[in-house]
Amino acid sequence: MLNKIINTIISNIKKYWPVYLIGLLSIVYFSKIIFNSFIPFSSNYYLSDILDLNLPFKSLLADFLQNNSLPLWSNEIATGYPVFAEGQIGSLYPLNILLYKFLPFIFAFKVSFVLHFFLAALFCYLLVRNYKLSKISSLFAALVFACSGFFIGHLGQINVVNAAVWAPLILLLLNLHYRHKKIIYIPLISLFLAIQFLAGHVQISYYTTMCVIIYFFWREIKIWLIFRLPLLKSIKSLALNMLPLLYILILFVLLISVQLLPTYYLANQSWHGNLTMEQNLEFSYHPDNLLTFINPFIYGNPADNTYDKNVDNYGIWSENIGYIGILPLFFAVLGLWSKKKRCYM
Of the pLDDT bands very low, low, confident and very high (cuts 50, 70, 90), residue 181 is: confident
Residue 26 placed within a domain: yes
**CA–CA separation, 61 vs 94, rounded Å?**
13
Residue 167 placed within a domain: yes
| pLDDT tens-digit map of 87-134 | 899 999 999 999 999 999 999 999 999 999 999 999 999 999 999 889
Q: What number is the average pLDDT over the span 264-272?
A: 83
Judging by beta carbons within 10 Å of its beta carbon (0-12, 13-18, 19+), is residue 153 exposed, middle or buried? buried
Residue 61 placed within a domain: yes
The pLDDT of residue 209: 96
Residue 307 placed within a domain: no
| pLDDT tens-digit map of 205-254 | 999 999 999 998 888 777 776 666 666 666 676 777 788 899 999 999 99
Region of 90 (left: φ > 0; alpha: ψ -120 to 50; beta: rest) is left
What does the mean pLDDT of the chain come to?
86
Residue 245 placed within a domain: yes
Of the pLDDT bands very low, low, confident and very high (cuts 50, 70, 90), residue 339 is: low
Residue 133 placed within a domain: yes
The pLDDT of residue 345: 44
Residue 121 placed within a domain: yes
Q: What number is the average pLDDT over the span 45-50?
A: 69
How many Cα atoms within 13 Å fall on the side-chain side of residue 95? 25
Of the pLDDT bands very low, low, confident and very high (cuts 50, 70, 90), residue 44 is: low
Count of structural domains, the chain: 1
Residue 45, pLDDT > 70, answer no
The pLDDT of residue 230: 66
Residue 141 placed within a domain: yes
Percentage of the chain modeled with pLDDT above 70? 91
Of the pLDDT bands very low, low, confident and very high (cuts 50, 70, 90), residue 188 is: very high
Domain that holds residue 133: 17-268
